[in-house]
Amino acid sequence: MSEPSEGLPLYVRIRSTCFFVFYDVPAQWIGMHADPWPADVQKRSYFSGPVCGEGSDRPCPDPALPLPTKRSGHIGTDGGLVLPSGAELPGAVPFERPEQEREP
């Protein structure tokens, strides 16, 4: 018979794996392949609240928009890029090129 300390971590690993495979992966796939919010939903404030649309600085989700994160910029309702306070656009990093051998 296995010790209780061995069975619990195995249960947690199996449960975490099942949660990832059967919830996280499908939720990400559905989110990345979602249709835009219907206009009928967007015109009712109780569906979107201050999350997106009128009265917010964010447009409602649409396949033409990038998926924002908590630390990333987002597209504003005027179509411009809105960066978090204190953030700057990263600069271009030049490619590392090996020095060319020079012939004498």
Domain spans of the chain, in order of start: 4-82
Alpha-carbon distance of 97 to 100, in angstroms, equals 9
Q: What is the DSSP letter of 65?
A: S
pLDDT in tens, 17-72: 999 999 999 998 988 888 998 989 888 888 887 888 888 888 888 888 888 788 88
Alpha carbon 30 to its chain centroid, in Å, reads: 13
Alpha-carbon distance of 28 to 31, in angstroms, equals 5
pLDDT at residue 100, as a whole number = 64
Q: pLDDT averaged over the chain? A: 85
Q: Tokens at residue 80, please?
A: 């411009």
Assessment of whether the complete model's pTM goes beyond 0.85: no
pLDDT at residue 61, as a whole number = 85
